[in-house]
Amino acid sequence: MRIAKLPVVARHLKIGIGTLAVVLIVIGVWVAILQHARPSAGASMSSPVKDQAWDGRAAKRTDAPRKATKDSSLWVKPPAEVAARNYRRQGFAWILRQLGASEEQLNRLSDQDLLAVFLELKQKAQGGDTAAINILGEIALQNCGLGRNDDTLEAYATSQIADAQAFPPKDAAWFTAAMHEDSAFEKRVNAACKQVIDQDEILSWVAARAAQGDGASLWLLSRTENNLTNGQQRLRDAAAAGFPEAQFELAWAIIGGQQGAAGTGSAKVNAGDLLRQSADQLPRSEEELAVCEYSGCDGVAVDLDAAIKHAREAAQRGEIDGMLAMGPHLSAGQVDPNEVMAWGLVHASLVQQGCGGNGFSVREMKSTLGTLNANNITAQARELAEQYWQEFGAQMMANIGCGS
Host domain of residue 317: 8-400
Output the CA angle 31-23-113, nearest 5 degrees: 40
Q: Which of 315, 274, 317 is nearest to 292 (CA)?
A: 274
Q: Phi and psi of 165, rounded to 5°?
A: -65, -10
Q: How do residues 90-110 score in pLDDT, each as one tens digit?
A: 999 999 999 999 999 999 999
Q: How far apart are CA 82 and CA 70, in angstroms?
A: 20
Q: Phi and psi of 335, rounded to 5°?
A: -140, 130
Helix (H) or strand (E) holding 169: helix 169-196
Structural contact between residues 173 and 50, judged by C-beta atoms closer than 8 angstroms:
no
Instruction: Specify burial of residue 131 (Cβ count, 10 A radius: 0-12, 13-18, 19+).
Output: middle
Q: How do residues 197-250 score in pLDDT, each as one tens digit?
A: 999 999 999 999 999 999 999 999 999 999 999 999 999 999 999 999 999 999
Q: Which of 132, 179, 136, 146 is nearest to 160 (CA)?
A: 179
> How would residue 404 be classed by pLDDT, with cut points 50, 70 and 90?
confident
Task: Read off the pTM.
Answer: 0.83
For residue 1, tell me if it sits in a domain. no
For residue 233, tell me if it sits in a domain. yes
- Give mean pLDDT, residues 171-198: 95
Residue 403: predicted pLDDT: 76
Structural contact between residues 88 and 185, judged by C-beta atoms closer than 8 angstroms:
yes
Helix (H) or strand (E) holding 302: none
For residue 3, tell me if it sits in a domain. no
Q: Phi and psi of 297, rounded to 5°?
A: -160, -175
Instruction: Specify burial of residue 86 (Cβ count, 10 A radius: 0-12, 13-18, 19+).
Output: buried
Structural contact between residues 357 and 5, judged by C-beta atoms closer than 8 angstroms:
yes
Q: How do residues 311-360 score in pLDDT, each as one tens digit?
A: 999 999 999 999 999 999 999 999 999 999 999 999 999 999 999 887 88
Structural contact between residues 398 and 404, judged by C-beta atoms closer than 8 angstroms:
yes
- Give mean pLDDT, residues 55-63: 35
**Other CB atoms within 10 A of residue 71 CB:** 7
Residue 28: predicted pLDDT: 38
For residue 232, tell me if it sits in a domain. yes
How many Å from the N-terminal Cα to the C-terminal Cα in the chain? 18
pLDDT at 154 over 70: yes
Please give the tally of structural domains in the chain: 1
Lowest model confidence (mean pLDDT) among 57-66, 184-193, 298-307: 57-66
For residue 2, tell me if it sits in a domain. no
Q: How do residues 24-55 score in pLDDT, each as one tens digit?
A: 333 333 333 333 334 444 433 433 333 332 33
Lowest model confidence (mean pLDDT) among 9-23, 203-217, 381-395: 9-23
For residue 257, tell me if it sits in a domain. yes
Q: Which of 211, 207, 205, 201 is nearest to 223 (CA)?
A: 207
Please tell me which residue, 305 or 36, carries the higher pLDDT value.
Answer: 305
For residue 291, tell me if it sits in a domain. yes
Q: How far apart are CA 382 and CA 291, in angstroms?
A: 25
Instruction: Specify burial of residue 263 (Cβ count, 10 A radius: 0-12, 13-18, 19+).
Output: middle
> How would residue 147 be classed by pLDDT, with cut points 50, 70 and 90?
low
Instruction: Specify burial of residue 246 (Cβ count, 10 A radius: 0-12, 13-18, 19+).
Output: buried
Output the CA angle 335-278-259, nearest 5 degrees: 95
For residue 378, tell me if it sits in a domain. yes
Structural contact between residues 193 and 144, judged by C-beta atoms closer than 8 angstroms:
yes
